[in-house]
């Protein structure tokens, strides 16, 4: 529902009308992250985008584990997320719809950003208009789940939708707190959406990466696990040569997340993110290009650095190692830590 329609619905009550004017609605999101308590109080004011790799789980409650594998007194086994947050303002976003194939520097690429027209269609079909406040959620059962949210968030920011946030702890935290859930189908009212041109300040290309190698002005961040960075992971179609781009430092995405005793994954504080970067030999305030196998995992590093820690010089190399390792002239370093 658009801001003006919401304003009209509340026009009879001056006190409520003040809350839902166009200006205040645009400011409804407190930051790049929102907490479950905040969302519970604002379910009618936002559109939730629930991004998943397993769409069937959206409409089916998960069964609790029958046996505690850790034994009596051990940690409780984690129940997979099934169903979704109970609100009519929610849309299931299939992960496959967020990505596209592409081509650059003579090589074919996978898991690239979707184009402007596909993005606008995805938003409209998900009940989002240009003035909609959006909260993205994910299952948050693993760092890979959280990445789904940061990828969609980065894409929205890239195409100019600034009124967006991620639910910290995701759907898993929501359900672990015994909040209302549902397994109803996603039936969003179609929005009206016109995407802006992509923001070049958020994305890097291969030429930018080459310039950054050994540069005193820009640092490179490998967002993968240490095994991939060292070259121990097997090569494949996505990454044809394992290892890392020369002079890149390793910053695994999991270090940006905090796991609670219940298994809930939330983001580290800005202070901890900066301290972690420094401990890994990075400068949290320096211009940064993050990459991974494809650009998806790099968006989690970008989100932590750019959105939480406030480094507005952070970018994502969207083609990442999928492109870099297919271009024969590009060097790859292995079994060394920069």
Beta carbons within 10 angstroms of residue 282's beta carbon: 19
How confident is the model at residue 130, as a pLDDT? 96
Helix (H, G, I), strand (E, B) or coil at 26: helix
Beta carbons within 10 angstroms of residue 259's beta carbon: 11
| Closest-CA residue to 308 (of 28, 30, 32) | 32
The conformation of residue 80, written as its DSSP 8-state character, comes to P
What is the tens place of the pLDDT at every residue in 14-52?
Answer: 333 333 333 334 447 999 999 999 999 999 999 999 999
Could you give the domains of the chain?
3-182 (3.40.250.10), 200-324 (3.40.250.10)
* The pairing of beta strand 107-113 with beta strand 99-104: antiparallel
**DSSP string computed for 301-313:** HHIIIIIIS--TT
Q: Could you tell me the pLDDT band of residue 65, with boundaries at 50, 70 and 90?
A: low
What is the tens place of the pLDDT at every residue in 198-218?
Answer: 999 999 999 999 999 999 999
How confident is the model at residue 16, as a pLDDT? 33
Cα(108)–Cα(97) distance, rounded to whole angstroms? Answer: 19
Considering the entire predicted model, what is its pTM? 0.88
What is the tens place of the pLDDT at every residue in 310-328?
Answer: 999 999 999 999 999 999 9
Rounded to a whole number of angstroms, the CA Rg of the chain reads 21
Cα(77)–Cα(265) distance, rounded to whole angstroms? Answer: 15
pLDDT at position 8 over 90: no
């Amino acid at each position: 529902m658009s801001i003006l329609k919401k304003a009209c619905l509340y026009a009879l009550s001056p006190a409520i009308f003040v809350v839902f004017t166009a200006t205040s609605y645009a400011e409804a999101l407190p930051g790049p992250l929102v907490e479950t308590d905040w969302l519970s109080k604002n379910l009618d004011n936002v559109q939730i985008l629930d991004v998943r790799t397993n769409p069937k789980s959206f409409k089916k409650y998960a069964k609790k584990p029958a046996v505690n594998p850790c034994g009596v007194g051990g940690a409780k086994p984690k129940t997979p997320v099934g169903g979704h947050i109970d609100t009519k303002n929610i849309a299931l976003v299939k992960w496959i719809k967020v990505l596209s194939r592409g081509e650059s520097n003579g090589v074919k690429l996978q898991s690239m950003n979707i184009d402007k027209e596909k993005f606008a269609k995805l938003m409209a079909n998900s009940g989002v208009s240009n003035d909609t406040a959006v909260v993205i959620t994910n299952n948050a059962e693993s760092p890979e789940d959280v990445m789904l949210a940061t990828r969609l968030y980065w894409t929205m920011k890239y195409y100019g939708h600034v009124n967006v946030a991620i639910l910290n702890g995701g759907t898993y935290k929501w359900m672990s707190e015994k909040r209302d859930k549902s397994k109803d189908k996603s039936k969003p009212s179609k929005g009206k959406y016109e995407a802006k041109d992509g923001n070049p300040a958020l994305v890097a290309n291969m030429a930018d990466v080459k310039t950054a190698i050994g540069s005193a002005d820009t640092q490179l961040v490998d967002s993968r696990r240490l095994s991939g960075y060292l070259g121990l992971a097997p090569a494949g179609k996505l990454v044809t040569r394992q290892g890392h781009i020369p002079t890149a430092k390793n910053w695994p995405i999991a270090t940006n997340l905090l796991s609670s005793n219940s298994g809930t994954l939330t983001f580290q504080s800005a202070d901890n993110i900066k301290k972690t970067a420094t401990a890994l030999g990075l400068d949290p305030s320096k211009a940064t290009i993050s990459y991974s196998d494809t650009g998806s995992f790099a968006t989690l590093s970008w989100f932590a650095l750019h959105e939480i820690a406030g480094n507005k010089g952070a970018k994502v190399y969207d083609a990442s190692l999928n492109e870099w390792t297919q271009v024969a002239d590009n060097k790859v370093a292995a079994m060394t830590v920069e």
